[in-house]
Chains A and B, each alone.
Chain A
Amino acid sequence: MSWSKDLVAASATPIILSILAEKENYGYSIIKKVEELSGGEMQWTDGMLYPVLHRLEKQGLIKSKWGKSDIGRRRKYYRLEKKGKKELIEEKRKWSVINSVLESVCQQKTSLI
């Protein structure tokens, strides 16, 4: 399935914030988590994740720190900030509205058919 660039961009923030709400995480793992949660339907271009992460950090929603991987390689971990938690609640509310609107519209269409 191909995803429009706009849809991917719009959904990236709530998805990333939700994943980080579980625990602190790093870029590669976030990408894998998205693939896993979407059953392989959503496949982000790996390199596009990092500018988004940096933007979210600039906005104060997440915070990064350098750590080490199991084999001792440097790796950057991200965690959700207080402001990010608030943003996530707001994002979830907005997406829930969009979802209910879509469902209502689809139901109306089905009943007309």
Chain B
Amino acid sequence: MSTENIFNLKIAIHQWENSFREINTDIEGCIEELVSHLHDSMAEFRNKGFSEEEAFQLASSELGQVPSIVVEFSKNHTVEGFDVIRFSVFFATWIFLSGILYYYGFFKELGFHIGCCVGILVSWVFLETLPLLKKRGGLINKFDKLRFIFSAFILFSFVSILVYLGLYDMFQLMPGYLVASIFACVLGEFMLLFVGKQRLKLTCSMA
């Protein structure tokens, strides 16, 4: 008998898990729970006398179609415009304050403007990296990584341009950085809201 046809539960479950990841990585943190459900359901089918393979097929089909489940999960990840503004202002203020802190603490020798920019960038990296380190809860995904890169790029570019053009004088130095930070955050978060909605539409169309 060929060993190729022997059902391997571990591989089957792994492939089933990957079918979620292929559609949307946002639900990474939810997969373990679905697998746990799959095991519970399989155990019941096994008790009824089904083979391991049959139990897997029945349990996975009872859980429903993967794209449909992903769509339902994706709906939970959408954010509204108000949340975006709230988060943006909060983050921008936090970044601005810690940027100054970094400047006075570590980057004073770089000069005021460069020091502030470096400080803001370091703060931003720190702020965005923390959630990425959190393994459970669906925070490690492409969307968060994209958010990190995009936001950092926008923020740093904007502040750099502002400094280069000398426009900071209009806002009298410190408030200028705050305004720049808030503007960059709001812009960045709204762009991401747009990207998120487009991704949800795409996922829905796949279901």
Contact = CB atoms under 8 A, between A and B. Distances in A.
A and B interact: yes
| Secondary structure call for the A interface | helix
Contacts of B201: none
B39 A47 contact: no
B41 A51 contact: no
Contacts of B41: 28, 46
A71 B86 CA distance: 45
Contact of A51 (B36, B37, B65, B76): B76
B15 interface: no
Interface stretch (A72-80, A90-98, A105-113): A72-80
A28 B65 CA distance: 17
Contact of B33 (A27, A58, A69): A27
B34 A76 contact: no
B34 A47 contact: yes
B150 interface: no
Interface string A58-77: 10000000000100011110
**How many residues of B sit at the interface, in one of the four size bands?**
10 to 19
A26 B33 CA distance: 10
Interface centre among A26, A47, A54 (most CB of B within 10 A): A47
Contacts of A50: 30, 33-34, 37, 69, 72-73
Contacts of A75: 36, 40
14 contacts: A26-B36, A27-B36, A27-B37, A28-B36, A47-B72, A48-B64, A50-B33, A50-B37, A50-B72, A50-B73, A51-B75, A73-B39, A74-B36, A75-B40
